[in-house]
Amino acid sequence: MLFPDYRPRRLRQSQAFRRMVRETSLAVDDLILPLFAVGGKQVRHPIASMPGHFQLSTDELVKTCREAFALGIPAVILFGIPETKDPLGTQAYAPGGIVQRAVKAVKNALPELAVITDVCLCQYTDHGHCGCLEQGVVDNDASLDLIARTALSHAKAGADMVAPSDMMDGRVAEIREALDESGFSRVPIMAYSAKYCSAYYGPFRAAADSAPKFGDRRTYQMDPANALEALREVSMDVEEGADIVMVKPALAYLDVICRVREEFDLPVAAYNVSGEYAMIKAAEQMGWLDGPRVMMETLTAIKRAGADLILTYFAMDAARALRP
Ligand code: PBG
Ligand code: ZN
């Protein structure tokens, strides 16, 4: 079809037509809100590089969850900031740890809100790496047990789903086995399958106090230049028992989201990470961008690329914008 027989503008002339032929729609059902839990009471400590986000004590966290639930957001994902750190990240799997307490409080107040927990050691280790060390190197196999223990302790606290973000090889199988052995075969695993070694995590690391104290995460997180390797990572996680696979970050990896969506039939999640949020908020504060419009365009793009679920710090703002 060629001009003048075909005129693409015909179907763009009215809001009604545009709505009728729209290919992608973002829904509040797609959104997962990340939240940061700290100890104490009535703590609402602002995160400078993530305007609108706070380190929240459990009482305040429950309040925020109530708002999210009222807006129709189906799930939150919790990150913990522990009081103490040590080489083995023991507070990650302590029954009275910060995430375990936060999960209990939220599930108690809002049983219908799905509570997902991020499973990793980096906030809990004194060296800031996602696994334990052996002679200064992150030891894959020794870390697996600690990561599985963390996931199990979250399930015991009442988590509805666990999300390992450590990028150790074999962790999904290890977690699945640990959960199944202890009677948690109903708890799904959302695997951070293709998690890249990204500078877009900067604001998160400040918020969660989880930056590595030496070196970087290149020996376990993926090289941003690789896409085929992402498919291998996803395929391993699927074989090991993942229920949802994730690509992270989202914006610089839309091609990866698209390829994963095409090759696998599990739900695909994408993590619109802290740096992606910070860039838009900063430009908005400078008066350089229309923040709300860029937010919706960005989330729609992630959906269009093939994500079924989006973990995003914009979840509340987007849920408000989507309200009928
Ligand atoms: C922990 C973890 C990180 C993020 C989620 N889980 C940081 C990292 O890997 O250093 C990043 C989230 C974000 O930037 O919003 N492993
Ligand atoms: Zn980590």
- DSSP secondary structure string for all residues of 91-134: GGS-TTSHHHHHHHHHHHH-TTSEEEEEE-STTTBTT--SS-EE
276 within domain boundaries: yes
Look up the CATH number of the domain holding residue 200. Answer: 3.20.20.70
From the CB of 54, is ligand 1 less than 6 Å away?
Answer: no
State how far the Cα of 109 lies from the Cα of 148, in Å rounded to an integer.
Answer: 27
Question: What are the average pLDDT values for consecutive 10-residue runs of the chain, which has 324 residues?
Answer: 96 98 98 98 97 98 98 98 98 98 98 98 97 97 98 98 98 98 98 98 94 96 98 98 98 98 98 98 98 98 98 98 93
Q: Torsions phi, psi of 41, nearest 5?
A: -130, 145
Selected catalytic residue, list 85, 107, 248, 303: 248
16 within domain boundaries: no
Q: What is the pLDDT of residue 152?
A: 98
Q: How far is CA 33 from CA 23, 71, 76, 261, in A?
A: 25, 11, 5, 22
Please report which ligand is nearest the Cα atom of 221: 1
C-alpha 120 to ligand 1 mean position (Å): 9
State how far the Cα of 161 lies from the Cα of 153, in Å rounded to an integer.
Answer: 12
Q: What is the pLDDT of residue 44?
A: 98
Asked whether the whole model's pTM tops 0.85, one would answer yes
From the CB of 122, is ligand 1 less than 6 Å away?
Answer: yes
Atom 5 in ligand 1: which residue has the minimum CA distance?
Answer: 165
**Structure token pair of residue 117:** 């927990």
Please say whether the beta carbons of 116 and 77 come within 8 A.
Answer: yes
Q: What distance, in Å, lies between the first and last C-alpha atoms of the chain?
A: 37
83 within domain boundaries: yes
Q: What is the pLDDT of residue 172?
A: 98
Range of the domain at 263: 24-321
167 within domain boundaries: yes
126 within domain boundaries: yes
Taking Cα atoms as reference points, which of 230, 169, 220, 229 lies closest to residue 197?
A: 220
From the CB of 201, is ligand 1 less than 6 Å away?
Answer: yes
Q: How far is CA 184 from CA 37, 155, 157, 243, in A?
A: 24, 7, 11, 14
From the CB of 125, is ligand 1 less than 6 Å away?
Answer: no
State how far the Cα of 71 lies from the Cα of 315, in Å rounded to an integer.
Answer: 10
* Pairing mode of beta strands 161-164, 190-195: unpaired
Q: Torsions phi, psi of 275, nearest 5?
A: -70, -30
15 within domain boundaries: no
Q: What is the pLDDT of residue 36?
A: 98
Residue to mutate, 201, 248, 302, 312, ligand 1, most ligand atoms under 8 Å from C-beta: 201
C-alpha 166 to ligand 2 mean position (Å): 5
Selected catalytic residue, list 195, 213, 281, 303: 195
Structural domains counted in the chain? 1
Adjacent-strand bridge partners of 55:
36, 45
Atom 2 in ligand 1: which residue has the minimum CA distance?
Answer: 165
> Would you call 195 a catalytic residue per the annotation?
yes
163 within domain boundaries: yes
From the CB of 168, is ligand 1 less than 6 Å away?
Answer: no
Q: What is the pLDDT of residue 1?
A: 86
Ligand 1 atom with the shortest distance to the CA of 200: 14
State how far the Cα of 121 lies from the Cα of 145, in Å rounded to an integer.
Answer: 11
From the CB of 204, is ligand 1 less than 6 Å away?
Answer: yes
Please say whether the beta carbons of 11 and 54 come within 8 A.
Answer: no
> Would you call 63 a catalytic residue per the annotation?
no
DSSP-H helix ranges across the chain: 15-21, 58-70, 98-109, 140-157, 171-181, 202-208, 228-240, 254-263, 274-285, 291-305, 315-322
Q: What is the pLDDT of residue 324?
A: 83
Atom 8 in ligand 1: which residue has the minimum CA distance?
Answer: 201
From the CB of 130, is ligand 1 less than 6 Å away?
Answer: yes
Atom 14 in ligand 1: which residue has the minimum CA distance?
Answer: 201
Please report which ligand is nearest the Cα atom of 201: 1
Q: Torsions phi, psi of 195, nearest 5?
A: -110, 115
User: In degrees, to the nearest 5, what angle opens at C-alpha 303 toward C-alphas 300 and 305?
Assistant: 110
Q: Torsions phi, psi of 75, nearest 5?
A: -150, 150
134 within domain boundaries: yes
State how far the Cα of 141 lies from the Cα of 84, in Å rounded to an integer.
Answer: 24
